[in-house]
Amino acid sequence: MQDAPLVQPRPAISWQRMAMTAAGVAGAVVFIEGMLNRETRDQLSPAEQSLLHDTFKYTGGGLVLTALAARGMFKSGVAYRIMAANPWLVLGVSLVGGIGTMMGVFYTPPEKSIQKHLFWLGFNACQAATLSPLFFFSPAILSRAALYTVGIVGSLSYVGATARNDKYLNLGGPLLAGITVVALSSLAPMALPLGVRGLAVTEAISLYGGLALFGGFVLYDTQKILHHARLAQQGLMKRDPMNEAISLELDMINIFIRLVQILAMQNNRK
């Protein structure tokens, strides 16, 4: 008698663990606020509150559209074709499409609302195509990574919003230098013949270094939004929450991707 094939069930979502994680995130917000913001700023002005609120509305809307589109692409088989394609081709197409639509959003003035929203939808579609292969991971891993991402970004955004004016804006230069290192460490295995130890080092830099780096970008981008709100109030620039949302959305996507990879690695070790 032939043995039946063994099918490994996907791990179920533990709502108790989710609740404990949410409580831990709330505690972490209080701790981080106390550590990083010993001197807090004055209360946000109405202009700062308005731009921050509208920016997070576009960020949340973009992420919801990206998730739904990525899920649809996965179910339709687009993710399989992406995984089977040449990695350099996928990288090139995703870079051209993502950067092109992002530049379209940035350089379209707010007055041209329809054109700007079309570029914004195109940007989210490009992100969805890039993220659709993540649905090969179990729903438990994706749910935990999403919850952790919201907790990390929410806490760091709160810290950035309550910190003294421009406290974290001087992080721009070091963060740009760091993203170059992380990008090179991500591309190195595709271009260079690295040994096992070299692969482990580049993977650690890409995952954990990238996680810390994009956490820093959340602080920087939150304070940049408030700075732009003050400039717009003075008439020195146009108020544009969609442009601000693109940066935060990219921060969240990069944090989410790395958390999925880290959780998957931990799950494989069990």
Could you report the per-residue pLDDT of 24-53, keeping only the tens digit for each?
Answer: 555 555 555 554 555 555 678 899 999 999
Average pLDDT over the chain, rounded to whole?
81
For the question of whether the overall pTM of this predicted structure is more than 0.85, the answer is no
| Residue 38 vs residue 218, higher pLDDT | 218
The length of the chain in residues reads 270
Residues with Cβ within 8 Å of 32's Cβ and at least 6 positions away in sequence, in order, are 155, 156, 159
The verdict on residue 120 lying in a domain is yes
- Domain count along the chain: 1
The verdict on residue 1 lying in a domain is no
Rounded to an integer, what distance in angstroms lies between the CA atom of residue 244 and that of residue 221?
8
Residues 6 or more apart whose CB falls under 8 angstroms from that of 126 comprise: 94, 97, 98, 101
Q: Which two tokens stand for residue 145?
A: 């990574």
Domain span holding position 147: 43-269
pLDDT of residue 258: 92
Distance CA 179, CA 217 (A): 10
Residue 38 lies in a domain: no
Q: Is residue 107 part of a domain?
A: yes
Task: Write down the residue that tokens 């990206």 correspond to.
Answer: 66
pLDDT tens digits, 134-181: 998 999 999 999 999 999 999 899 888 888 777 888 887 788 888 777
Question: What confidence tier does 8 reach under pLDDT thresholds 50, 70, 90?
Answer: very low
Q: Is residue 196 part of a domain?
A: yes
Domain-embedded: residue 210: yes
Q: Considering the domain boundaries, does residue 3 fall inside one?
A: no
What pLDDT was estimated at residue 9?
47
Q: How far apart are CA 243 and CA 107, in angstroms?
A: 9
Domain annotation covers residue 198 = yes
